[in-house]
Amino acid sequence: MKQKTGYLLKNIWKFTSSEGYSHLPDNNISKKIFFMTFKYFLSLLYVYSMLSAVSLNAQNIVPNSLYAFDKYMTNSGYAGLNRGKVLVFDIREQWLGLEASPKSYSLSFTSPIYELHGSYGVKVASISSGISKKTGFDLSYNYVFQSVSGLFSFGMGAGMYSMKLKNDGIITPGGFYSKGEVDHNDPFLSSLLASNIYLSKISLFGVYYYNDVEFGIIFDKEINVSDKSVYEVRDILRLNWQYLYRFNQNISVKAFGLIYSDFVLWQNDIGVAGLYKNNYLTGFNLRGYSNKTIDSMSFLIGGNVNYKLRLIYSYDFTISGLRKVEDGTHEIKIIYNFGKKNIKRSLPPLINNPRL
């Protein structure tokens, strides 16, 4: 299998090399940039596949109910596709009422780079769950290529996070705990709590859009490394889709979905939202972890404060047995669009016309 994969990548590399597109005219710069970007995308894909040989899968999937309205959080290939600079703040508090319940805060910024036919994105985040807290950042770049078959956006990203474990959140059977003094009586656990854990991430992603239908895919390779040279590698796969149906100029309905997996657990989301004049929205999202397990239902509502600022809120009602001990999940998303980027162009001379 590895030999076949290497042979296939080798031939694709040859096709996308300078010899493969040297026949293109010099003025066709966009296609040359496309082939060059795609070639380096393949090289990173090859490295990514080699790392998969030592993959160990674990840990939980962090859900998000407003993924259809902040697509960059799910797939970095959406950066800049709205032709403007966008700043997004998201806060999510899950399973209120439970001690040490999951909480996440994130801030992202995306912007197109017209000169390079692409876009970039930056995200900083803080995620706490149980005894762990993770903070860090992500960077991404995507190349956008438009053809008669639709719009393509693909690229790569990288991230770095640090994780700390809370010492006071653990109690062992043989430990000693008195007047603020903590002794777990477990050398391995004490060593782990004292160490710093770092998580590095490599991402490959792509988006396809045509006539109000879109699909996206992203692969994440995460490597957890501690001070004690203990490391773990895990893979994450995300698939997203959306279809927009317009009844008229004022009313439209958007159906969307997300598949999220670490190849141990599969999370499936599907939702529908109605939009009025593209200013107000309401809908719901259903989340489950198998064909027999429905975890929660989210109710969504939001709208534009003005032509640049949008607020969206979701409330997750837990359907599983966990609803007996928690009070639901709240998520708020604040989206600020700076507007389309001004492009410097030479304008024709002004002609005064008394009829205007």
Same domain, 161 and 217: yes
Q: What does the H/E/C string look like for 247-298?
A: CCCCEEEEEEEEEEECCCCEEEEEEEEEEECCCEEEEEEEEEEECCEEEEEE
Same domain, 126 and 20: no
Q: Is residue 215 part of a domain?
A: yes
Domain count, the chain: 2
Separation between Cα atoms, residue 19 and residue 9, nearest integer Å:
16
Share of the chain above pLDDT 70, in %: 71
| pTM (2 d.p.) | 0.75
Compare 28 and 215 and report the one with higher pLDDT: 215
- 249-265 pLDDT, tens digit per residue, is 999 999 999 998 888 88
The letter for the amino acid at 312 is I
Q: Is residue 223 part of a domain?
A: yes
Same domain, 72 and 13: no
Give the pLDDT confidence score for residue 261 in this predicted structure: 87
Would you say 121 and 130 are in contact if contact means Cβ atoms under 8 Å apart?
no
Give the pLDDT confidence score for residue 20 in this predicted structure: 42
Same domain, 33 and 177: no
Give the pLDDT confidence score for residue 55 in this predicted structure: 34
Give the pLDDT confidence score for residue 32 in this predicted structure: 54
Q: Is residue 81 part of a domain?
A: yes
Q: What does the H/E/C string look like for the chain?
A: CHHHHHHHHHHHHHHCCHHHHCCCCCCCHHHHHHHHHHHHHHHHHHHHHHHHHHCCCCCCCCCCCCHHHCHHHHCHHHCCCCCEEEEEEEEEECCCCCCCCCEEEEEEEEEEEHHHCEEEEEEEEEEEECCEEEEEEEEEEEEEEEECCEEEEEEEEEEEEEEEECHHHCCCCCCEEECCEEECCCHHHHHHHHCCEEEEEEEEEEEEEECCEEEEEEEEEEEEEECCCCEEEEEEEEEEEEEEEECCCCEEEEEEEEEEECCCCEEEEEEEEEEECCCEEEEEEEEEEECCEEEEEEEEEEEECCCCEEEEEEEEEECCHHHHCCCCEEEEEEEEEEEECCCCCCCCCCCCCCCC
Separation between Cα atoms, residue 102 and residue 239, nearest integer Å:
23
Largest CA distance in the chain: 92
Instruction: Report the pLDDT averaged over residues 79-102.
Output: 89
Least confident window among 35-44, 99-108, 181-190, 327-336: 35-44
**At 24, is the pLDDT very low, low, confident or very high (cuts 50, 70, 90)?**
very low
- 154-210 pLDDT, tens digit per residue, is 999 999 998 887 766 677 777 777 776 777 667 766 666 666 778 888 899 999 999
Same domain, 85 and 28: no
Q: Is residue 103 part of a domain?
A: yes
Q: Which domain holds residue 8?
A: 2-42
**At 37, is the pLDDT very low, low, confident or very high (cuts 50, 70, 90)?**
low
Give the pLDDT confidence score for residue 286 in this predicted structure: 92
The letter for the amino acid at 237 is L
**At 324, is the pLDDT very low, low, confident or very high (cuts 50, 70, 90)?**
confident
Same domain, 125 and 169: yes
Separation between Cα atoms, residue 290 and residue 295, nearest integer Å:
9
Same domain, 140 and 250: yes
Q: How far is CA 21 from the centre of its chain?
A: 32
Give the pLDDT confidence score for residue 77 in this predicted structure: 93
Mean pLDDT of the chain: 78
Query: What's the CA angle centered on 123, arms 118 and 127, to 5 degrees?
Result: 150
Same domain, 75 and 128: yes
Q: Is residue 204 part of a domain?
A: yes
Same domain, 26 and 110: no
Same domain, 179 and 270: yes
Inter-helix orientation angle 29-51/2-15, to 10°: 160
pLDDT of residue 111 exceeding 90: yes
Share of the chain above pLDDT 90, in %: 41
**At 131, is the pLDDT very low, low, confident or very high (cuts 50, 70, 90)?**
confident
Give the pLDDT confidence score for residue 29 in this predicted structure: 54
Q: Is residue 328 part of a domain?
A: yes
Instruction: Report the pLDDT averaged over residues 101-125.
Output: 94
Compare 180 and 102 and report the one with higher pLDDT: 102
Give the pLDDT confidence score for residue 218 in this predicted structure: 94
Strands 309-318 vs 293-304: parallel, antiparallel or unpaired: antiparallel
Q: Is residue 348 part of a domain?
A: no
Same domain, 204 and 137: yes
Compare 53 and 221 and report the one with higher pLDDT: 221
Same domain, 162 and 272: yes
CATH of the domain at 129: 2.40.160.40
pLDDT of residue 345 exceeding 80: no
Instruction: Report the pLDDT averaged over residues 72-83.
Output: 90
Q: Is residue 353 part of a domain?
A: no
